[in-house]
Structure 1
Amino acid sequence: MDRIDRRLLEVLQEDSQASISVLAEKIGLSPSACHRRIKALEDSGIIRGYGARVDAAKVGIGLHVLIDITLVSQSREAMERFERAVGDFPDILECHLLSGTADYRLRTAARDMADFDRLHRECLARLPGVSAMHSSFVIRTVKGWNGFVLGV
């Protein structure tokens, strides 16, 4: 991956729906060269897919919750069991294995507190091997994630 690929990834993260000709112009390539580079990035797995950024409030999601999880045991089996269970719940949007005091951090979203109560009872409370769970409610997002900075 060279400087041009990094710039191409940066531009795609800004607008993944831009046409090949627009991307090529921004990067300073011919459309065919730009297309070949995008295809190579996709084929190599660097670009894993494309998606839409949805305005959560406009679709009725008003509550974003970060949940720190500590397991009873950090054995391989306990961690694998927990991670498999997390994969079974679509309400869990992200799960990160951490260093520090908590073992995992989950990200969820809900319409409101009643919906989070449902999510807690039907999903979070069913996760295996949990010894402690600490939820933090996002008050306001100051800076959201829009992609990686690749240092072009």
Structure 2
Amino acid sequence: MDDLDRRLIALLRHDARLPVASLAADLGVSRATVKARIDRLIDSGVIQGFTVRLRSAEAGGRVRAIMMIEVEGHRTDAIIRRLYGFPEVRGLHSTNGRWDVVAELETDTLEAFDRLLSSVRTMDGIASSETSILLSARKG
């Protein structure tokens, strides 16, 4: 991957729906070059797909957070299975370091968020947790 690939990826991260002609003009190369680069990046697995970003959670009044969880002993799989039972849990990730699991949380209100935190924190097998509410989103 060279500088042109990195610049192309940066433009696509900002707006993956940019027409090839616009990408080519911004990069100072031909449309055929941009198309070939995109195809190569997809074929090599660097680009794994394109997605749609919905209106931000702030606009919808949703409460979003990341919760880092330390699990007691070898209970990570059991904790993950239980966490999947909460509809407010939008994603789960195992990790290394201080925390064993990172959970993406989303609720409609702060009251619902507080109830969710209480339910998760008191689960048998969770040693400790730390939660951060997501305040704003930045484009990557």
**Partner residue in 2 for 1:66:** 66
5 Å matches for 1:99-118? 99-100=97-98, 102-116=99-113
**Partner residue in 2 for 1:26:** 26
Unaligned 5+ segments in structure 2 are none
Contact 1:86 1:127 in 2 (8 A): no
5 Å matches for 1:17-96? 17-53=17-53, 54-61=55-62, 63-73=63-73, 75=74, 78-83=75-80, 91-94=88-91, 95=93
**Partner residue in 2 for 1:146:** 139
Amino acid at match of 1:104: V
- What CA distance in whole angstroms lies between the structure 2 residues aligned with 1:90 and 1:26? 43
TM-score by length of 2: 0.75
Shift of 1:125: 6.8
Amino acid at match of 1:99: G
Shift of 1:40: 1.1
Unaligned 5+ segments in structure 1 are 148-152
Q: How many residues are treated as equivalent by the alignment? A: 138
Contact 2:90 2:104 in 1 (8 A): yes
Contact 2:76 2:100 in 1 (8 A): no
- What CA distance in whole angstroms lies between the structure 1 residues aligned with 2:21 and 2:121? 50
Amino acid at match of 1:112: T
